[in-house]
Structure 1
Amino acid sequence: MLVDKIIKFENNYAEIQANVIEKTYGKIFYDKNNPFSYDSNHALINENTDYDSAIKDMVNFYESIAITPRVYTFTKNISAVGQYLETQGFNKSIEEICFFVQKNKIIIDIPKTIDFKRLKQIDETVYELFQSDSDQGEWGYKALIKSIDKEHFYLFGGYVDNNLVCIASIYKQNDISRINDVFTKKDKRGNGYGSQLINFITDFNDKNLKTISYLYANNHDAIKIYKKAGYEEINAIIRGCYWLE
């Protein structure tokens, strides 16, 4: 099922932006250079494992590098791992993730006013793009630095008069891909760049990757664009974030 594929994808997505330690109980993702990125610094603990030894090992590791011990869970129902973490004093944040799947590949009717190219390196222009919005933070920029050289990861930039105004990435695994880092420079928003960006990604995926694509969104304006491009919301996935103070 598609939902199961997305859950598997999400459980392993951090591999493109973090170091990975394979464990018998799951995985540890970490990046000491990007400590404020929770997506880069968390553990995956499998449902059928020795929770006590897994938690002890995971906590010891993160504390040894001065990073808050954290576990992510992606499930269709209540997570057994999450329930056990609660009994061990972990804080929790539970939410139904707003994932959108492109069920129909639709090109939005809008004039093309920007040029796109694949970015093979992260330079000062990308940093300036992220710095235009304080809500994004430096952690997103650092995550891209870690991701750029990974196989099946594609980062694209949109340019107006040779100036970078927007970016988006797509990461492919088998027959499914995740769109991320969809970002328009703050003072350039409202010009239709987001719609053109999604059009470009849709066309690139259709011609080159030929995958089912999905993304996460919680911004009302962005969601309207995604729906125009044929994305439909799925509400079957719950993300749990558990951390130890």
Structure 2
Amino acid sequence: MQFPFSVKRMLETELRFPQRFTNMVQRNYGLIFFNEGNKRSYDSNHALILDLIGVESSVRDIESFYKSKGINPRIYGAFLPMELEKLKPSLENNNFTIDLLPDRFYHHDQESSLMPIDGLRIERVRNLTIDVMEAIAMEFGGDYTLRVAERHLQHPSYHLLCGFWEGEMVSLASVGIFAGYSRVDDVYTRTDFRGRGFAGAMLHHLIQYHRQLSTNHLYLYSSSPESIRIYQKAGFSLVNLETPIWEAYKILQPIG
């Protein structure tokens, strides 16, 4: 049974999904995610301020925590009303840079108009082969993305799908299944194989694949106009939020 779609529930899922692949500590003001073995991954290393009382001390504590681990401090917005207005003075006082992000969320609520491609073999990958590792490291975000995938694969509710064309890996996508909501991510096509419909075929397959596993609501986020057009053809619709999407960070040291 599928419950009605709730923006609040979707955002709660989004805020906590990094628990699947990184470490987390709780503070009285919120959450801190960290992974000293993958310092370049923003999703692995960021904080959420969930209590907007006493934010000056919260910002300082976050900076101190990450500094002690050799990680540049980063704070993601938590989709709370007026949060940026309340946090901005403390962030600026502590020399954080604030970026408003163009990302938007999309919820799958219509039937896909995309089609499969004959000859494109799509399968779930439970362990990273050398070919898949090389493709992720070289074309899909670098070694930090690879490290996230390696740890994510340890969770049984993370499904990484790879598309193969004439024996060569050409595309991938993932879906993480949570309570009531499933998060689509990692939708990539290798550069040499773009423009041939592989991304659309992969997404169409992922939607059908997910239906065999769960009645959850599917959602994703994107800022790429080209990708968004494919998502819309797959049946994803824009989710209107009442708060901006933002992050704040401070560069304390270069991270190799």
Query: Would the TM-score normalized by the shorter structure come out above 0.5?
Result: yes
Instruction: Report whether the alignment pairs 1:31 with 2:5.
Output: no
Other-structure match for 1:65? 69
Q: CA deviation at 1:89?
A: 2.8
Letter in 1 for 2:98: K
Distance of aligned partners of 1:71 and 1:7 in 2 relative to their CA distance in 1, 3 Å threshold:
same
- Cα deviation 1:188-211 (Å, max 9, x = unaligned): 112211111011111012121111
Q: Distance in 2 between matches of 1:146 and 1:49?
A: 34
Letter in 2 for 1:145: E
Instruction: Report whether the alignment pairs 1:145 with 2:150.
Output: yes
Instruction: Report whether the alignment pairs 1:56 with 2:78.
Output: no
Instruction: Report whether the alignment pairs 1:91 with 2:132.
Output: no
Q: Distance in 2 between matches of 1:203 and 1:128?
A: 28
Gaps of 5+ in 1: none
> Contact 1:82–1:240 (CA<8 Å) still a contact in 2?
no
Q: Distance in 1 between matches of 2:53 and 2:80?
A: 19
Q: Distance in 2 between matches of 1:194 and 1:137?
A: 20
Decide which of 163, 188, 193 is 2:193's aligned counterpart: 188
Percent same amino acid at aligned positions? 24
Instruction: Report whether the alignment pairs 1:116 with 2:122.
Output: yes
Instruction: Report whether the alignment pairs 1:130 with 2:159.
Output: no
Decide which of 191, 208, 215 is 1:203's aligned counterpart: 208
Instruction: Report whether the alignment pairs 1:44 with 2:67.
Output: no
Q: Distance in 1 between matches of 2:65 and 2:40?
A: 17
Q: Distance in 1 between matches of 2:17 and 2:26?
A: 14
Q: Distance in 2 between matches of 1:3 and 1:97?
A: 15
Distance of aligned partners of 1:167 and 1:23 in 2 relative to their CA distance in 1, 3 Å threshold:
same
TM-score normalised by L of structure 1: 0.90
> Contact 2:115–2:201 (CA<8 Å) still a contact in 1?
no
Q: Distance in 1 between matches of 2:92 and 2:189?
A: 38
- Cα deviation 1:56-87 (Å, max 9, x = unaligned): 33222211111111111131643155324234
Other-structure match for 1:21? 25
Other-structure match for 1:154? 159
Q: Distance in 2 between matches of 1:27 and 1:112?
A: 45
- Cα deviation 1:200-233 (Å, max 9, x = unaligned): 1110121211111111122222222111111111
Distance of aligned partners of 1:231 and 1:92 in 2 relative to their CA distance in 1, 3 Å threshold:
same
> Contact 2:48–2:77 (CA<8 Å) still a contact in 1?
yes
Letter in 2 for 1:66: G
Q: Which moved more, 1:200-209 or 1:47-56?
A: 47-56
Q: Distance in 1 between matches of 2:212 and 2:111?
A: 12
> Contact 1:114–1:159 (CA<8 Å) still a contact in 2?
yes
Q: Distance in 1 between matches of 2:158 and 2:103?
A: 23
SS at match of 1:112: coil
How many aligned residue pairs are there? 244
TM-score normalised by L of structure 2: 0.86
Q: Distance in 2 between matches of 1:116 and 1:24?
A: 44
Distance of aligned partners of 1:171 and 1:99 in 2 relative to their CA distance in 1, 3 Å threshold:
same
Q: Distance in 2 between matches of 1:189 and 1:172?
A: 28
- Cα deviation 1:35-60 (Å, max 9, x = unaligned): 11111111112124442443333222
Letter in 2 for 1:155: L
Gaps of 5+ in 2: 252-256
CA RMSD of aligned residues (A): 2.1
Letter in 2 for 1:13: F
